[in-house]
Amino acid sequence: MNVPMGASEIIPDFAASLLEYFEKQLEPFLTGEYAFPDLALEQETAGAPLTNSACEASFGFLDHLTKVPPNMTTYNMSIKTVAVKNKLYDYFSSLPEMEREEMERKACENMKTSVEQAMIQKKELQQKLFRKMEEKARELAEEQSRNQRKKHKVASEVEKCGFWRTVEAMNQKLENATPKNAKSWIKSNIQFRKKVWQPSFEPKWLLQFSHKNHTFSLEELKNNLVQLIAADPEWDISEEEDCDD
């Protein structure tokens, strides 16, 4: 085995540092408090549990009993909630014995009625929940229908001038157009990109006709559309669906 040059001088210093480190770490187990255990203490604590698993298991079982039938009912859980919130048990315990017995008797007589009322309330809550779910589903369907109608309307508008996928196609279409038609066609293309083609485009103001109380001019709308076309991942597609003016 070849020893690198200078290693014989470094190893003794390195080994001495390691020895000092391990002596400090192992001292309690070699000569300190853990080296000579107290046998009397070991015998005294021999039966003590090392963990609280048994205690946790007992509490877990009690918790389980309160959450499964017959204990876990809406009626019983309501009683527990009211008792905790209103300090009902403390109040009941403070009453004179005769008054307490009278209240217990009335409670027993009304128990069946209370259970029936709880069941009625439960059914009413379920019906309200179902109606709410149906209303939410109907609103969602109506919103989807409105969005679909808007998309169809925007698509029909853009058919009048064609959907421009390139700047060259846009310039060719606008070459002989009147300012009124040019602005209308540009808006149709922007609106189509907003509703159908690029709905998640950022920044959003490029898909708008105004921004911060400023209404875009024809030239500004055109520049915005150029940026939208350039940002389109399929901007290089040159096919165009042009229609007559």
- Tens-digit pLDDT profile for residues 25-36: 887 777 766 666
State both tokens at 244: 């007559």
- Find where tokens 């499964």 sit: 68
pTM beyond 0.75: no
Look at residue 238 in the predicted model and tell me its pLDDT.
44
Q: Identify the residue with better confidence: 43 or 140.
A: 140
Q: Which two tokens stand for residue 134?
A: 């149906």
CA torsion through residues 149, 153, 159, 162, sign: negative
Locate the DSSP E strands across the chain: 210-211, 214-215
Check residue 37 and give its pLDDT: 65
Tokens found for residue 195: 């509703």
- Return the higher-pLDDT residue of 50 and 26: 26
CA dihedral 171, 172, 177, 179 (to 10 degrees): 0
- Assess contact for 159 and 214: CB atoms under 8 A: no
DSSP per-residue letters across 28-42: HHHTSTTTS--HHHH
What does the alpha-carbon distance between residue 235 and residue 242 come to, in Å, rounded to a whole number? 17
Q: What is the largest CA-CA distance in the chain?
A: 107
| Residue 103 backbone zone (phi > 0: left; psi -120 to 50: alpha; other: beta) | alpha
Name the percent of the chain lying above pLDDT 70.
83
pLDDT in tens, 68-127: 777 777 777 777 777 777 777 788 888 899 998 898 888 888 888 888 888 898 899 899
* Structure tokens, 12: 């003794």
Give the C-alpha distances (Å, rounded to integers) separating 211 from 174, 208, 216, 222: 24, 7, 8, 15
Closest CA to 118 of 59, 76, 162: 76
Q: Which residues contact 188 (CB under 8 A, 6 or more apart)?
A: 154, 157, 158, 160, 161
Gap between the Cα atoms of 130 and 135, Å rounded? 9
- What phi and psi, each to the nearest 5 degrees, are found at residue 103? -65, -40
Q: Are 205 and 211 in contact (CB under 8 A)?
A: yes
Q: Please check the confidence at residue 243 and state whether its pLDDT lies above 80.
A: no
Q: Specify whether the CB–CB gap between 222 and 193 falls below 8 A.
A: no
CA–CA separation, 198 and 189 (whole Å): 11
What is the distance, to the nearest Å, from the Cα of residue 38 to the centroid of all Cα atoms in its chain? 55
pLDDT tops 90 at residue 216: yes
Please tell me which of 49-63, 104-118, 134-148 the model is most confident about, judged by mean pLDDT.
Answer: 134-148
